[in-house]
Structure 1
């Protein structure tokens, strides 16, 4: 138990602040749509999903000289389309008629953009994504070891949102009790976060349900070569075909070919899908607009369907306001636990309270000297 306690304290002291920052930024990002509705024009507009509106918007946006490579369409909670360009950080918000509302070429120009970049990439691309995933696994380790360390002291359990006094013993006691209380939420958020960042971890979790090879095969894009993108592509026909293939589904993204021979892609979300942008797909020849392939997300292997629940559970994209508040509590609690772990550790990294040190020092002195 002593070794476990040292491991828990040292790793918490070293990466607790990172977990605290991930928890805090995650809690803020849960409310991104509300922030945009309050601060950006047309973000509170009602969602429009009729074929005519979508086709007219796509025709207008993709006819621009500096056209985007993809469009993420408005949702019920956020009435703007988001345009992404070839340059990684270049993006824009447009109303549902295709008029640019705000545009930027750096994530630092939009608070929700740099918050997401930090939370998901630690400002360091794929490398930061891997580090964040490892931090999530470390957080899971903290939860497990914290539960083991708490068990011998379970009779002293108290529910407190803040330590009784700001002294090390009280902070440690509060840290353990609060961690136990919120453990199920932390396990959910940390597991889903690590699974999204670390493919091997995600595949390992789903392996009991579906083999990794089967999941990779099911998610692969069709190996079909498309023609050159037509200047007057019939977007009404393209979108109409996608809607006919998945009746009642919400059109979520429209993407142009990323390289020569690529296909036009449309993502849709069927009613039973939790993922905000769905995983149902339709692909089209960019020269003719003919549908050449499709994929029904509801027919994917069980492991893939479970994996598709990671993001909506992690980012509170299901469950309405109640679940958003639950995940906000999870993120803020992780912030508090991580911050106090760092404070108590660096205040006394050896793990021994000062009072105990003084008693040990006094006990080591000769009796006569100790009485003087």
Structure 2
């Protein structure tokens, strides 16, 4: 929202816009130009990180995309009632059974649910999976060790499968070290825009209050 409103406030009436930054006319003018021009230039790049983060944080977006493409979102398998009674198998044994599905492939993530009636999920990093932790998954029954489902990342619906690219795009791992450095700098720039925006707002309120006091003092009749 801040990026959108900032772009609206920056939008020039004449094109091409001026991207000039003046640093020799005081701190206030320099910071204003940096905030205004820097936000306009870097806004689109920062928006990529914001949009990808929002996509991963708000799962209904993925379901909406899958539904729009006529696909049914892939959900974790359910465990029949009454079959989850008894002690869970050791985690090492569950992982070993999952590795039988993808032998020799590195494990990127193991999700152990808090409730016994939900499956254990083991994620693998397959050679063609762009996700740094892998999203090719094997779900197992926590008590019996039965493999309930196994899906490679290409077999997921569009909304869930796209996370394989969106996550490394968000973190910068998709493009290697250069991309990671750019992503880190954009994060610092976003913080700088927030700080400079608050400071400029405070200075504007302070200046307006001082001007109002001076006007009131001038208008006050002398006794």
TM over 0.5: yes
Distance 1:232 1:254 in 2: 9
Contact 2:108 2:133 in 1 (8 A): yes
After superposition, give the CA deviation of every residue in 1:135-169 in whole Å (9 maximum; x if it has no partner): xxx23323532442x45485532368xx4444433
Q: How many residues align?
A: 212
Evaluate the alpha carbon distance shift between residue 239 and residue 305 of structure 1 in structure 2; reply closer, same or farther with a 3 A threshold.
Answer: closer
Evaluate the alpha carbon distance shift between residue 333 and residue 166 of structure 1 in structure 2; reply closer, same or farther with a 3 A threshold.
Answer: farther
Cα distance, 1:266 vs structure 2: 0.8
After superposition, give the CA deviation of every residue in 1:203-257 in whole Å (9 maximum; x if it has no partner): 4xx74x5317977x5331102345432359745741431324xxx6431123445
1:227-238 equivalent positions in 2, closer than 5 A? 227=84, 228=86, 229-230=88-89, 234-235=93-94, 237-238=96-97
Question: Is the counterpart of residue 320 in structure 1 residue 182 in structure 2?
Answer: no
Q: Which residue in 2 is equivalent to 1:222?
A: 77
1:1-372 equivalent positions in 2, closer than 5 A? 138-148=1-11, 150=12, 152=14, 154-158=16-20, 163-200=23-60, 202-203=61-62, 207=64, 209-211=65-67, 217-225=72-80, 227=84, 228=86, 229-230=88-89, 234-235=93-94, 237-244=96-103, 249-349=105-205
> Which one scores higher on RCO, CA 8 angstroms, separation ≥ 6?
1
TM, length-normalised to structure 1:
0.48
- Tell me which structure has the larger Cα radius of gyration: 2
Evaluate the alpha carbon distance shift between residue 316 and residue 236 of structure 1 in structure 2; reply closer, same or farther with a 3 A threshold.
Answer: closer
Distance 2:46 2:10 in 1: 12
Evaluate the alpha carbon distance shift between residue 155 and residue 213 of structure 1 in structure 2; reply closer, same or farther with a 3 A threshold.
Answer: closer
Cα distance, 1:260 vs structure 2: 2.7
Structure 1, unmatched stretches of 5+, are: 1-137, 366-372
Evaluate the alpha carbon distance shift between residue 232 and residue 327 of structure 1 in structure 2; reply closer, same or farther with a 3 A threshold.
Answer: closer
Give RMSD over aligned pairs.
Answer: 3.7
Distance 2:127 2:13 in 1: 43
Contact 1:268 1:280 in 2 (8 A): yes
Contact 1:283 1:293 in 2 (8 A): yes
Distance 1:231 1:304 in 2: 29
TM, length-normalised to structure 2:
0.74
Cα distance, 1:198 vs structure 2: 3.4
Contact 1:143 1:187 in 2 (8 A): no
Cα distance, 1:338 vs structure 2: 1.3
Distance 1:252 1:337 in 2: 35
Evaluate the alpha carbon distance shift between residue 323 and residue 156 of structure 1 in structure 2; reply closer, same or farther with a 3 A threshold.
Answer: same
